[in-house]
Amino acid sequence: MGVSQVEFYGHVRQYHNLKNEIDQAIHEVLESGSYVQGPRLKQFEQELAHYANLKESVGLNSGTDALVLVLVALGVGPGDEVITTSNTFFATAEAIWLAGATAVFVDIDPDTCNIDPKLVKAAITPRTKAIIPVHLYGQSAEMRALDKIAKAHSLYVIEDCAQALGARGDDFEFGELSNAVCTSFIIQKNLGCFGDGGAVITNDSGLATEIRKLRNHGSLERSHHSMGYNSRLDEIHAAVLSVKLKHLDEWSELRRERAKQYDSGLVGTSLKLPTVRPGFRHVFHLYVVETEDRDQLQAYLKSEGIIAQTHYPIAIHQQEGYPWGRSARISGSLEHTERSAARVLSLPMYPELTAEETDTVIEAIRSWEKSRNVAAGSAAR
Ligand SMILES: *Cc1c(COP(=O)(O)O)cnc(C)c1O
């Protein structure tokens, strides 16, 4: 197989752009002899908290663990219900299940693909303990509306911010209207390391301490206060993330520029383009369009050497692997979630994507559309 014209990710490009700094940071860790729970982790945690404008951050093994450990630390477990969406990466629901609680799925707002706050209220029962909104594709969920519901019903709010570090709402920052923000540092995310990593960011120092304990076998100093997990962000990745965090805002701007270019290049086609809520700062983890002929478009782009992917083609409640029964239930209909799963297509989107490559994608989509219209026209005759 030849090299694709437009790749889906720019990981190696990003590494090459920062090669000296990253190599140096890794080298320093190797020479330091301190590889886990050392000074680089502490430093990165401070930098991340500062970036988020929140009091504390705790570096962990993964974004999945971030969600699990927050749930466990807040005492959400067996018998409790957690409201979220089915239109997300599997880990969101998996975390609820791993904590022993029951996931309750409500439908999404079809415009943004984020949780529809209007449906949350109807899903609340006496067992409801928390809401996990997912800031899907890089756009904040409607935290203001969710906060109101959570306050009225004394629920925790845990932000799944794996895709949206740096996003903002119209009148709120992330972390401002929740108990904790969970994020992931796998390379595909907007801030990524060279393996697994995640973090919890929060203004609640007690919660941060509890999670620090849980990530290290229930131990803060020497003794073990409880059972815990082994879920630490290692020094090499903390050092790499410190280098990269300085570039996150500039990368978000580049993503937004490419998104603008897609928007203006694809306007007037039959595709549904991303909806950005007025005043929201979308950081375009993914640029997702929708079409009934998704599979056809994806195959056409592939034939043109352009890689497009699907996030997510199978909703969680339709996955074979989700443990039903006590572990999950559906509130209302999930028609928008199911419709979106069948229609979404993610176009190449990363800070290192060039304007020329973006144009190549736009032109390919336009010629696909033209050939379809010609075919439809001749069929009509
Ligand atoms: C990536 C992701 C996660 C899980 O993060 P990991 O670091 O891979 O464990 C959770 N939720 C969402 C929405 C994600 O995109």
| Cβ contacts of 323 within 8 Å, gap of 6 or more | 97
Question: Across residues 164-180, what is the average pLDDT?
Answer: 96
Which residue's CA lies nearest to atom 8 of ligand 1?
63
Ligand 1 centroid to residue 183 C-alpha, Å: 7
For ligand 1, the distance from its centroid to the CA atom of residue 265, given in whole angstroms, is 30
Give the residue whose CA is nearest to atom 2 of ligand 1.
162
Q: How far is CA 24 from CA 55, 233, 236, 331, in A?
A: 29, 19, 11, 51
CA of 60 to the centre of ligand 1 (A): 12
More confident residue, 327 or 94: 94
CB-facing half-sphere around the CA of 236: CA atoms within 13 A: 11
184, 193, 310: residue to mutate for ligand 1 pocket, most atoms within 8 A of CB: 184
Q: What is the set of domains in the chain, with CATH numbers? A: 11-245 (3.40.640.10), 248-380 (3.90.1150.10)
pLDDT bracket for residue 377 (50, 70, 90): confident
**pLDDT recorded at residue 320:** 87
Structure confidence at residue 323 as a pLDDT band (50, 70, 90): confident
Query: Read out DSSP for 307-324?
Result: --B-S-SS-GGG-TTS--
In the predicted model, is pLDDT for residue 379 greater than 90?
Answer: no
Q: Residue 113 corresponds to which amino acid?
A: C
The per-residue pLDDT for range 49-91, each reduced to its tens digit, is 999 999 999 999 999 999 999 999 999 999 999 999 999 999 9
Closest ligand 1 atom to 91 CA: 10
Which pLDDT band holds residue 303 (cuts at 50, 70, 90)? very high
**Residue whose CB lies within 8 A of the most ligand 1 atoms, among 67, 136, 140, 160, for a mutation test:** 160
**pLDDT tens column, 190-216:** 999 999 999 999 999 999 999 999 999
Q: Which of 46, 69, 43 is nearest to 211 (CA)?
A: 69
Taking phi first (over 0 means left), then psi (-120 to 50 degrees means alpha), and beta for anything else, what does residue 223 get?
A: beta
pLDDT value for 381: 58
Ligand 1 atom index nearest CA of 198:
7
Phi-psi group of 163: left, alpha or beta (phi > 0 → left; psi -120 to 50 → alpha; rest → beta): alpha
Å from CA of 374 to ligand 1 middle: 41
Q: Which residues line ligand 1 (CB under 6 A)?
A: 62-64, 88-89, 91-92, 134, 160, 162-163, 184, 186, 196, 198
- pLDDT over 70 for what percent of the chain? 98
Cα-based distances in Å from 131 to 61, 106, 151, 178, 334: 23, 11, 11, 10, 17
CB 279 within 8 A of CB 171: yes
Question: What is the reported pLDDT for 380?
Answer: 63
Q: How far is the CA of 162 from the centre of ligand 1 (A)?
A: 5
Separation of 90 CA from ligand 1 center, angstroms?
A: 8
Q: Return the residue whose CA atom lies nearest to atom 5 of ligand 1.
A: 63
Model pLDDT, residue 321: 80
Nearest CA owner, ligand 1 atom 6: 63
Name residue 103's amino acid.
Answer: A
pLDDT in tens, 247-292: 999 999 999 999 999 999 999 999 999 999 999 999 999 999 999 9
Scan for tokens 């969101």, then name that residue.
Answer: 92
Q: What is the mean pLDDT of the chain?
A: 96
Q: Which range, of 48-52, 55-59, 137-141, 323-327, averages the lowest pLDDT?
A: 323-327
